[in-house]
Structure 1
Amino acid sequence: MVLLINMGVKFGFFLTLSLASADRDARGEARVAKRCYCDLQMSDGPFPHMQLEQLYLISQNCSLKLNKQQFNEPLEITAYVEQKLNNLVQRINEFEKEYDGELYSIISYRIIEIEIAELNELLNQLQEKCWRNNDERTYLDTQAQNITNKVDELEKYDRLKVIQEHRKNTILKRSLTSCQNALLVTPTPYVTTQPGSCSFGRLKAVSYPRSSMLNHFGTSYPYGSWGKDPLPAPGKEDQHWLVVLTSSNRFGTKIRVYSSYSKLLTKGAFKDISFQTYNPQGPGGVMYGDAYYYNCYNLDKLCRFDMTTQNVISATLPFAGFNDKFPYCTLASCYVYTDMDLATDENGLWVLYSTTFNFGNLVVSRLNTTDLSLLESWNTTLFKRSASNAFLVCGVVYATRYVSPEIEEIFYMFDTTSGVERYDLKIQFRKVLPGIQYMNYNPQDKKLYVYSDAYVISYSLTFE
């Protein structure tokens, strides 16, 4: 006997029940129990699980590609281009305002030319990345459309909500796996960064001079310092300053301030602020947080000159040599009164000096900008007179030495984080003039500001 039940209208399949009679022997004495058989036949055919798994893998690959950093790079480059373009427009506007009927300086045109070249290079990079990403996006759009079409086809088989339940199960499995992994994970041990590294890499090279001009007081003032405040007060973001030492190359009497870099280049409007007490000694002063820090004249002290109130505070630098006891030197001569060298970087304000306790070797100290107390100090093995100058980047001291009238070399580094010292850097850069009396790194624009035999010069630093 076969019982056929047709339920295809509601569920889309046929259910066939069959009852098999028991076999009897010839005598009719023995009987075998009856058995029922259920035969389920899908009207649409078996559900294509393999296709569903393949679609799942394809979608995962698409997600991984969509998460690539390359799709964010054009946005970052575009933002950088906009920033540089705004700076260039502002600079050109300032030049136009200051134009007095005479020719602009060659340096002014050269700076604009360099910035336009940098913009063109960035635009080429942006165009290349956009082309590459458009190809990738077209491929992903095609894949997404294919997946959509195949899912639509699979919905024909989904009378029993297979795909919907499969998605729920996938989400549950993913949540369970994440929870288990979080419980079993071992905390990653702290890894010390490679000595001499910043968050943006290690110092690799120094550019050719980005700008170069004679200071506004003339060649009679070979010693001095200049730069830009890395922590400016509101309204002074583009302010630049210049301090020259008197004919004795020993002390300064005033700070000349320019409201913008273009004012400095074109010898535009400026403001002179005179020191009433504690004149600065040597070319090692820096501007930081709207205050000028320097070695107090004829004293083993540091001074802080507030640019707004013009008040001065001072504090003794313990055991520090001064008055030409531990200056920077070349093989032929020394740079006078360079015993105390102030410096700035991403970590704040520093002073580089030497003491008899450290046998004339370089001492590095980080300063409290309010009261000039020492926050931390490190003794190095670098004999200070063997270096011609020094600066800091990310808590790493870099020292230079004289190679030739045209070449200076960064040969030494000391990492205050790890205590690692190296004497084999060999990072050479070209000079405008033989002597370098002052250099300081500005973490805001990552430039090196140099005063060289009466010329003010800037360099860009490259990191890897």
Structure 2
Amino acid sequence: MALFTLAGIFVILLRTAATQVDGDVRGVSRVGKRCYCDLQMSDGVFPRQQFEELHSLSANCSQELNAKELKEPIDIFADMEQRLQKLVQRIDTLEEEYDGDLYSIISFRIIEIEYAELMDLLNQLQTINWRNQEKVDNLFVKVQNITDKVDELEEYDRLKVVKEHRKSMILKRSLSVCQSALLATPAPYITLLPGSCSFGKLVGVSDPKSSMLNHFGSSYRYGSWGMDPWPAPGKEDQYWLTILSTSNRYGNKIRVFSSYGKFLTRSGAVDLTFKTYNAQGSGGIMYKDAYYYNCFNLDQLCRFDMTTETVLYAKLPHVGFNDKFPYCTVSSCYGYSDMDLATDENGLWVLYATEQNFGNLVVSQLNATDLSILKSWNTTLYKRSATNAFMVCGIVYATRYLNSEVEEIFYMFDTTTGVERNDLAIQIRKVSSGIQYMNYNPRDKTLYVYSDAYVVSYSLLFA
């Protein structure tokens, strides 16, 4: 018998079978010796069954920890945190702007409702925590037991084989990931379907999110409003409003508010007046801290810098102007809507018509700095057959009048693919019969509308 000690005791037993050796007798063979190797461990046999039970117990604990009733408080807490931040913002705004008028009272009532909802969530959280307390205590005991048993099992790994094996597997996995990254073939460019954005295809328009009479009164039926898609630092919450006077044609100032709360309460307004080149029509928009519009009585675009209050102007080649190619309903037209500025994810655009394109809509992308045209597309949509248009992801959408309550997005032209469609049938519920202005803001995916002296907003729906 030979003994060796290495993580236990190896015992080699040499057992000799009984043999008879008879050299004088033929036909009797010699039986050879056989060796047997037995493994004996000083700590006993590795408790495989205990290890498997421990593994099963750990898996069950993981399932219980991921159970819906234990994750629900986390979701509620996240919702409460978000609501609380918004509530603090509303309270701060109310403290700054409270003047006792109707809008302040409405704002105060909204805060009361949001506070009540927050308290309901807190009560739910307390109820769930009380209901789950026993389960949490039991899980804690189970986890502690698992920890103790793992510590016991580690005693069998005297040579740290498991630990080193784990390190080796981690290194192999890291090497595999690195090699895969080096050998990976770049994914091919996928062309989006016509009428699609990276976040989906336009499929609908919400009911009006907000609606109120403009600040100057019901007699100002033409105007525009919104927020800057790419605002200057410090002006991220700024809203603007313009109105037209003198036969719904002429505008000479733009009104700005530092926040939507101030816009709603009509407080803290700042009016900037165009010293030269007043505005014509209600197609102007704000973009990168500048207001872009049709220069009054000219075939030119103007850019009013909101900081320096200076005006840059540039001719728009071949454009029809002074009510030559406005937007129209069946019975009448929206005066001086020849040049319609627009914004989207791709930048600044102008929508207009030319005689060269037979009065059909032309889509041009602009350099926002010097008003030069980067690229133009001719469409087959007769501009007078549409009531308005806006851009989303390089796609122009046009609307038409259905009745006094519904406008319809019926047409699209994709500047990426050149595909045109006139069968969209996406309806917009109106607050008033006419729509003199609409523009999409890619920052909040909102459609801003000016409708017969009312300022209205809609959410665009994508899928």
Q: By how many angstroms is 1:293 displaced?
A: 0.6
Q: Give deviations 1:211-265, integer Å, cap 9, x for gaps.
A: 3332233333211112222333344333332222123111212223334434433
Take 2:50 and 2:244, find their aligned partners in 1: how far apart are those partners? 82
Task: Quickly say closer, same or farther: Cα 1:21–1:376, change in 2 above 3 A.
Answer: same
Say if 1:74 and 1:126, in contact at 8 Å, map to a contact too: no
Q: Which residue of 2 aligns with 1:27?
A: 23
Q: Which residue of 1 aligns with 2:356?
A: 357
SS at structure 2 position matched to 1:401: strand
Take 1:199 and 1:116, find their aligned partners in 2: how far apart are those partners? 36
Task: Quickly say closer, same or farther: Cα 1:433–1:21, change in 2 above 3 A.
Answer: closer
Q: Which residue of 2 aligns with 1:113?
A: 110
Q: Which residue of 1 aligns with 2:274?
A: 275
Take 2:209 and 2:358, find their aligned partners in 1: how far apart are those partners? 38
Take 1:230 and 1:272, find their aligned partners in 2: how far apart are those partners? 20
Q: Which residue of 2 aligns with 1:41?
A: 40
Q: By how many angstroms is 1:324 displaced?
A: 1.6
SS at structure 2 position matched to 1:159: coil
Q: Give deviations 1:393-422, integer Å, cap 9, x for gaps.
A: 333322222111111222233333343433
Q: Which residue of 2 aligns with 1:411?
A: 410
The farther-off stretch of 30-39 and 223-232 is 30-39
Say if 1:286 and 1:342, in contact at 8 Å, map to a contact too: yes
Say if 1:78 and 1:126, in contact at 8 Å, map to a contact too: no
Q: Which residue of 1 aligns with 2:395?
A: 396
The yes-or-no answer on 1:347 pairing with 2:346 is yes
One-letter amino acid of the structure 2 residue matched with residue 104 of structure 1: L
Take 2:328 and 2:120, find their aligned partners in 1: how far apart are those partners? 45
One-letter amino acid of the structure 1 residue matched with residue 7 of structure 2: F
Q: Any unmatched runs of 5+ in structure 2?
A: none
Say if 1:287 and 1:293, in contact at 8 Å, map to a contact too: yes
Q: Any unmatched runs of 5+ in structure 1?
A: none
Q: By how many angstroms is 1:36 displaced?
A: 4.4
SS at structure 1 position matched to 2:236: coil
Say if 2:87 and 2:115, in contact at 8 Å, map to a contact too: no
Q: By how many angstroms is 1:37 displaced?
A: 3.8
User: What is the TM-score of this pair, normalised by structure 2?
Assistant: 0.81
One-letter amino acid of the structure 1 residue matched with residue 329 of structure 2: T
SS at structure 2 position matched to 1:18: strand
Task: Quickly say closer, same or farther: Cα 1:288–1:209, change in 2 above 3 A.
Answer: same
The farther-off stretch of 165-174 and 396-405 is 165-174
Q: Give deviations 1:12-57, integer Å, cap 9, x for gaps.
A: 3351331537845223799777554432233522563995699499
One-letter amino acid of the structure 2 residue matched with residue 45 of structure 1: V
Q: Which residue of 2 aligns with 1:81?
A: 83
The yes-or-no answer on 1:226 pairing with 2:228 is no
Q: By how many angstroms is 1:302 displaced?
A: 0.5
Task: Quickly say closer, same or farther: Cα 1:215–1:171, change in 2 above 3 A.
Answer: closer
Q: Which residue of 1 aligns with 2:11?
A: 15
SS at structure 2 position matched to 1:11: coil
Take 1:56 and 1:378, find their aligned partners in 2: how far apart are those partners? 65
Say if 2:255 and 2:272, in contact at 8 Å, map to a contact too: yes
Q: Which residue of 1 aligns with 2:320?
A: 321
Say if 2:277 and 2:296, in contact at 8 Å, map to a contact too: yes
Q: By how many angstroms is 1:121 displaced?
A: 9.5
In angstroms, what is the RMSD of aligned CA positions?
A: 4.2
Take 1:460 and 1:207, find their aligned partners in 2: how far apart are those partners? 5
Q: Which residue of 2 aligns with 1:382?
A: 381
Task: Quickly say closer, same or farther: Cα 1:338–1:185, change in 2 above 3 A.
Answer: same
One-letter amino acid of the structure 2 residue matched with residue 326 of structure 1: F
Task: Quickly say closer, same or farther: Cα 1:142–1:291, change in 2 above 3 A.
Answer: farther
Say if 1:326 and 1:353, in contact at 8 Å, map to a contact too: yes
SS at structure 2 position matched to 1:436: coil
Q: Which residue of 1 aligns with 2:299?
A: 300
Q: By how many angstroms is 1:339 displaced?
A: 1.0
Q: By how many angstroms is 1:433 displaced?
A: 1.1
The farther-off stretch of 295-304 and 236-245 is 236-245
Count how many residue pairs are aligned between Structure 1 and Structure 2: 449
One-letter amino acid of the structure 2 residue matched with residue 20 of structure 1: T
One-letter amino acid of the structure 1 residue matched with residue 374 of structure 2: L
Task: Quickly say closer, same or farther: Cα 1:47–1:446, change in 2 above 3 A.
Answer: same
Say if 2:192 and 2:198, in contact at 8 Å, map to a contact too: no
Take 2:377 and 2:108, find their aligned partners in 1: how far apart are those partners? 39
Take 2:450 and 2:373, find their aligned partners in 1: how far apart are those partners? 27
Task: Quickly say closer, same or farther: Cα 1:105–1:39, change in 2 above 3 A.
Answer: closer
Task: Quickly say closer, same or farther: Cα 1:199–1:162, change in 2 above 3 A.
Answer: same
Say if 2:326 and 2:338, in contact at 8 Å, map to a contact too: yes
User: What is the TM-score of this pair, normalised by structure 1?
Assistant: 0.80
Q: By how many angstroms is 1:304 displaced?
A: 0.6
The farther-off stretch of 414-423 and 219-228 is 414-423
Q: Which residue of 2 aligns with 1:90?
A: 92
Q: Give deviations 1:413-444, integer Å, cap 9, x for gaps.
A: 33333434333333222212100101112233
Q: Give deviations 1:185-231, integer Å, cap 9, x for gaps.
A: 44322223344333443334333333333223333321111222233
SS at structure 1 position matched to 2:370: coil
